[in-house]
Amino acid sequence: MVISCCAVGCANRQGKANISFYRIPFDGERRQRWVAAISRKDWQPSKYSRICSEHFLQGQKSDDPLSPDYVPSVFAHTKSPAKRRALGSLGKYEVREAMKKKKRQASSKHEAARALLNLSAEINVLREVEEEIVEEASISETSGKCDAMCQTNLTSDYIESLEFECQQLRGDTFALKEKLKPSDLEQSTFENKMFLFSGTEDSGVFGTVWALDFQNTIATAGAGQQGIWRCSKVGTGGINVETGITNT
């Protein structure tokens, strides 16, 4: 079936260059307005009815209810005043659309600028946070190095002092070992020295005599005198304690 324009006096058919065809709307109110504009006597469009683009002021239909091309208006039967009103309406509509477009563009630019400002502010905040993190990390690293250095210095000094003390102790121990001969620790050596200085080889008698001498020394010390004693053997197993006082 060949599609043709349903408008009175229009011979446009499908296949003609730069011509579009539109179905009659199914919406009740808009459908009635299209039928009234086509103005065919005793006519109701079918599902095959079409109208061409030459019957719209801008050469195509518009789905904007405010647009003059929401309903077709260019027909052979349209009177001049109606055509002028339609053209006037188209001019006003175009002006309004241009203003809306400028507002949308301005709004888009404003939104873009606001978005850039917000993004810039967020970047600045992130930079500040990053700088704070880097600064804290630097301070922490410096503090850690200082702590480690201080701990190392203290430990080193302490270790050096311990080593020095150990060396001194080893030297003192070696000196004592040199002075103290092993023979000095033998019992016979001790008894000989005890007899040499006290006159007795009995350690019990030596202790008793030493106690008596100590008491005598305390009694005579105030008078500037020194007590002396010596033991000698009397008979078999007898002990004679000789004491004396000498002036100092």
The tens digit of pLDDT for each residue in 64-73 reads: 998 989 999 9
Q: With a threshold of 0.85, does the pTM exceed it?
A: no
Residue 227 pLDDT level (bands cut at 50, 70, 90): very low
The phi-psi region of residue 64 (left if phi > 0; otherwise alpha if psi is between -120 and 50; otherwise beta) is: beta
User: In this predicted structure, what is the pLDDT of residue 12?
Assistant: 92
Q: Is the pLDDT of residue 32 over 80?
A: yes
Burial of residue 230 (CB within 10 Å: 0-12, 13-18, 19+) is middle
Q: Report the C-alpha gap between 146 and 104 in whole angstroms.
A: 62
CA distances from residue 114 to 103, 225, 228 in whole angstroms, order as listed: 16, 113, 115
Give the model confidence (pLDDT) of 166-211 as tens digits. 888 888 777 777 766 555 555 566 566 666 655 666 666 666 666 6
Residue 242 neighbours by CB under 8 Å, 6+ apart: 229, 230, 231, 232
Q: Quick one: the chain helix, strand, coil %, rounded to 5?
A: 60, 10, 25
Residue 239 has pLDDT above 90, yes or no: no
**In sequence order, what are the beta bridge partners of 243?**
229
- In this structure, are residues 40 and 34 in contact, taking their beta carbons and an 8 Å threshold? no
For 22, residues 6+ apart whose C-beta sits below 8 A from its C-beta are 50, 51, 52, 53, 61
**Cα 143 from Cα 146, distance rounded (Å):** 5
CA–CA dist 191, 184 (Å, integer): 10
Query: pLDDT tens digits, residue range 107-118?
Result: 877 787 788 888
- pLDDT at 243 > cutoff 50: no
Tell me which H or E stretch contains 228.
strand 225-234
Cα–Cα nearest to 199, from 234, 230, 225, 172 = 230
Residue 195 CB partners (closer than 8 Å, separation 6+): 201
